[in-house]
Chain A
Amino acid sequence: AQSVTQLGSHVSVSEGALVLLRCNYSSSVPPYLFWYVQYPNQGLQLLLKYTTGATLVKGINGFEAEFKKSETSFHLTKPSAHMSDAAEYFCAVTLDSSYKLIFGSGTRLLVRP
């Protein structure tokens, strides 16, 4: 069965610093991988996704993620954090034709001024 692990329930960075949110998955077949962001009192919004092709995926708001099969990872990065990036971030995987998403437990990003 597939699963998703997000290391660190909370990550705190200074404004302008590098953002790194970790995601590892377990899967017996190549997965499709997603990062979603949830701003306070709002629904989830897709940041980026990996399905096939290039392993470095660029998303909205300057975020990107790299699929590393050998490490079963899909870490999310952004070179320079902005105050508006403060939110909860969820990594998710889907495998089968129903496309139901299996989510990690989420990482809350705090950005210090």
Chain B
Amino acid sequence: GAGVSQSPSNKVTEKGKDVELRCDPISGHTALYWYRQRLGQGLEFLIYFQGNSAPDKSGLPSDRFSAERTGESVSTLTIQRTQQEDSAVYLCASSLELAGGPSDNEQFFGPGTRLTVL
């Protein structure tokens, strides 16, 4: 039973370039979340996928950010025209999303991708 995996673990890019970050959730988990953790700060919610429902994109900071998920598997977070303020650790989490509520829906986090924009 592998946990949530993310790749790459580290990404250094130049300002203005596009980047893609990948998340492989735990098999069978229908819900997937992306969060951003800036240096010295807590995690900020970015986007949430649940099954075939429309994703909750309310946390995306700008239209340069987008994410996709193929069915109930891999998700890709794309940042276009990266800026220095995008430098952060991007964390992915997944959960079973049962009907019982948050008590049944522990989010399991991946190790994150550290993005550095020069």
Contacts and interface: CB of A to CB of B under 8 A. Distances in A.
Interface of A: 4, 6, 9, 32, 36, 41-46, 49, 51-52, 90, 92, 94, 98-106
Contact of A43 (B42, B45, B111): B111
Contacts of A99: 31, 48, 95, 97, 102, 105, 107
Nearest to A93: B102
B25 interface: no
Nearest to A9: B40
A43 B43 CA distance: 12
> Chain B contact residues (Cβ within 8 angstroms of A): what range?
20 to 34
Contact of A46 (B45, B56, B106): B106
B65 interface: no
A105 B59 contact: no
Nearest to A33: B102
B109 A44 contact: yes
B88 interface: no
A90 B44 CA distance: 12
B91 interface: yes
Contacts of B107: 46, 99, 101
B103 interface: yes
Given A41-B111, A51-B102, A105-B40, A98 B91 contact: no
B42 A100 contact: no
A105 B91 CA distance: 15
A101 B101 CA distance: 13
Interface string B105-118: 11101111000000
Given A43-B3, A44-B109, A99-B97, 8 more contacts: A6-B42, A32-B102, A43-B4, A43-B112, A49-B103, A102-B45, A103-B42, A105-B40
